[in-house]
Amino acid sequence: MKNKSFETMATHFGEMFGEKGAMNVPIYQNSTFKQKKPGAWEEFTYTRTNNPTEEALRKSIGMLENATYSVIFSSGLAAINGMLELFGPGAHILSTADIYGGSNRLFKRLGPKRDIEFSYIDTSDLDTVKNALKPNTKLIYVETPSNPLLKITDIRALSALAKQRGILLAVDNSLATPYFQRPLDLGADLVVHSISKYISGHTNVIGGAVVARDEKILEELKFIHKAFGAVPGPFDCYLTMLGIKTLALRMKQHEANATRIAKHLQAHKRVKYVYYPGLADHPHHALARAQMTGFGGIVSFELDGTTEIAVKFLENLEFFGLAVSFGSVSSLVNCPAVMSHKEMVREERLQRGFTDTLIRMSIGIEKDDDLIEDIESAMRKAFGG
């Protein structure tokens, strides 16, 4: 099945791990597995270490990223935290400045406690990355597309630079998913996912994953997974695998709807600027076309108004759920200044480009006409006609 299309693999992988002809992987809702002989450990002993349902998901996400294996955690942040455990005190990590608010909080709060230094830069500018490197830099951590400004980082170029210096490159691929982008094929060493987002796709799962090809890194991640105990439940793993079956289908619709909405907003008199890599005038459009097979379902834009108007716009949307998450079949909307990035000091937030009226929309799979009508109605109510 390795050489088959993404769509075929995603639909049929469960049959590879099922039993007795089952077309879905069974749910092994067990904490403990009986052993046959004292001191001779079977493959499965205790779910904190391993579970058959989780093992199937590990292999499935690994396969979708064109690897063989992944390590699954209880959340996306647990996965990122697990990845950070690969690095010891005194390490320096370069991070995309335009990152998920939870990642920013984790790095800022726990980095100093671990004596790990973080620098936040525009990783889409290779010269900026080169100038920020230090002798103790151990990792370059990238979100591409970034969240929420949707900047694109050249993974191939960054990988070449990192390998010259003996530095690992990690890419958060939650926004693009392996359907639109495969960072390992572009030279990355680690891929991180919040499987709560597009991978599962139905806002019913919390989970995370780290994918790698290097066996030594994988073994260390498996130990971290076992030692820290931030493991997913078997039912969450099962639901995620059901979501994966429709991932390709969903991502196509997300992108189609996002493209139409981005173009609609671009022509809107109440909108200052639209951030979407699928637009021809996006500064990284050519790079996105080169390293991705699609542009994703997230559209960000700046309203031409005040924070109060932005809040009023959000409150009057009907089909866009007000939420800090993304990647659901249902459309979601977030104002980073008062939601996902509210803990960030305003001066720093503005410096990173997160303005008071920046809106991030996670475009769902609803009818595009209904979503546009909803946006127009909320615009009229927010701006007064």
Which residues does the annotation mark as catalytic? Answer: 48, 100, 172, 197
DSSP 46-88: BTTT--HHHHHHHHHHHHHTTSS-EEEESSHHHHHHHHHTTS-
| Strand 117-121 to 92-96 pairing | parallel
Would you call 180 helix, strand, or coil by DSSP? helix
- Per-residue tokens: 321: 């759920």
Find residue 96's DSSP bridge partners: 121
Q: Please state, in angstroms and rounded to a whole number, the distance separating the CA atoms of residues 302 and 360.
A: 9
Task: With CA atoms as reference, report the closest residue to 188 among 136, 153, 216, 220.
Answer: 153
CB-based contacts of 208, cutoff 8 Å, min separation 6 = 72, 73, 74, 75, 76, 77, 78, 79, 80, 192, 193, 194, 195, 196
> Tokens standing for 215?
């066996």
3 state SS of 121? strand
